[in-house]
A and B are shown apart, each in its own frame.
Chain A
Amino acid sequence: MSMAQDNERVIRKGLAAGKGTLAMGMPTDYEGTNMYVSGNLQYYFQDNISYRGEVWFFLGSDGEKNLFKQNSTLFTNFNYHIRTKNNIDPYIGVGPGFSWTQLKEPDHIMIVGNEHGLSDYKATINPVASLTAGINYYTKWAHLFIEAKYVHGIHLSDIPAVSLNELRIAFGFGWNINTIKKKQ
């Protein structure tokens, strides 16, 4: 019975999943690595379509060019899941988001010019767009995942704009439950 349950395909309409993990981001317009706590909640409206909300909370940057004091993002995504015969669940997704961003005050490398000493380096909210691709591997109650998300946007303040373009990578495990019983 237990083996039968483990082998049952759980990817179908009504599947709800959630996860939280540590994640990293690699800016595409300058060198550096950003660190995040990432989490999302997802619901399968159809066997191959899910909708989810995500939060990426910025922890800091690794490397010399750590430009941002704050770079956290809320996303909402639709994902298309490529149907398989097992519980492996490759998917692609699109969705907009809003980033809450704030630059660190100078002594960093990329910013020069008189006006930068006068900026108040305020936090701003900036819209972003995203493309996602990943793979889940489900069991009845938990799943493993790995995904890549390309984020496109700019941080605007009172000094020249700074790119938010970034490739974010997350992996780990999450929990899931089928909210609709499978038809016999």
Chain B
Amino acid sequence: MKNILTLMLVLFIGTAFGQEVTEKINTHKGEFSWGIRSTGSMFSESDNYFGIGAGFQVRYRVTDRLGSEWFADWITTDIGGLGQRIDAHIGVSAIIYPGKNPNQKGKFTPYVMGGFCGDYTKITSNLSHNDLDDTHTQDSKDRWSFATQLGLGTHYNITETFDISLSTQYIMHFGADIHSEIETNDHGEEFLHIHHEDGSSLEGHWFLTLSANIMLADLVKKK
């Protein structure tokens, strides 16, 4: 009995691991892509100033209907000519394709996406007059935080393996509060007042991303 069980186990393992993993040739499962991206920041807690960013992403397609996008961005925003905000994001989003036959050449493939990321934010004021000590000073505050994001997008496949993608994501930061306000000093000059409070707060952020992506490898053997 013991020998029969051992034989069955060996056969089972042999069958399981000896089986060649193959997929139909028309599936996108296993595709690994490299992309470059430009990201526009539409608004944040530092008001409705447009920021511009650069970054890259890699994608891995888990199934035809499910993909993942691993990204990094560096975004800078001019705050009314009085200061600047830097946002750095590294994160991952899951992509779900609700439509049939995704990634067809010459066609749009809409998707919904959501995920999380780690963030670094730094707000720096430009030099401005400080009423307290009658000097020109510059202030700077930063924080690390985590965020979760949700968005919509679409690929446009120029070829079967190259696409241009446009997506928009709403990002919710969880971390210390950091924001800025434009105030006026005793000389009547506007300056950027930066607020930073420890503890937890929520901050909304909205991005628009244009990317170009090429499939570099297909990691699942297909028949």
Q: Residues of A with Cβ closer than 8 Å to B?
A: 45-46, 48-49, 51, 76-78, 80, 94-98, 114-116, 118-119, 126-129, 152-154, 156-161
A115–B128 touching, CB < 8 Å: yes
Interface centre among B37, B38, B81, B164 (most CB of A within 10 A): B38
CB proximity of A101 to chain B, nearest CB, Å:
11
Could you say which of B54, B126, B136 contacts A160, with CB atoms under 8 Å apart? Answer: B126
B112 is an interface residue with CB less than 8 A from chain A: no
Q: Residues of B with Cβ closer than 8 Å to A?
A: 36-38, 52-56, 74-76, 78, 81-82, 84, 124, 126-129, 136, 138, 158-159, 161-162, 164, 210, 212, 214
Consensus secondary structure, chain B interface: strand
A48–B159 touching, CB < 8 Å: yes
B74–A158 touching, CB < 8 Å: no
Contacting residues, chain B, for A159 (C-beta < 8 A): 126-127
A159 to B191 CA separation, bound complex (whole angstroms): 11
Given A49-B162, A78-B162, does the pair A154, B36 have CB atoms closer than 8 Å? no
B164–A128 touching, CB < 8 Å: no
B138–A45 touching, CB < 8 Å: no
A154–B164 touching, CB < 8 Å: no
A78 to B212 CA separation, bound complex (whole angstroms): 7
Consensus secondary structure, chain A interface: strand
A46 to B38 CA separation, bound complex (whole angstroms): 23
Given A49-B214, A78-B212, A94-B210, does the pair A161, B159 have CB atoms closer than 8 Å? no
B78–A161 touching, CB < 8 Å: yes
A98–B36 touching, CB < 8 Å: no
> Can you pick out 7 interface pairs between chain A and chain B where the beta carbons lie within 8 Å of each other?
A78-B212, A78-B214, A118-B127, A154-B78, A156-B76, A156-B78, A159-B127
Contacting residues, chain B, for A129 (C-beta < 8 A): 38, 52, 54, 210
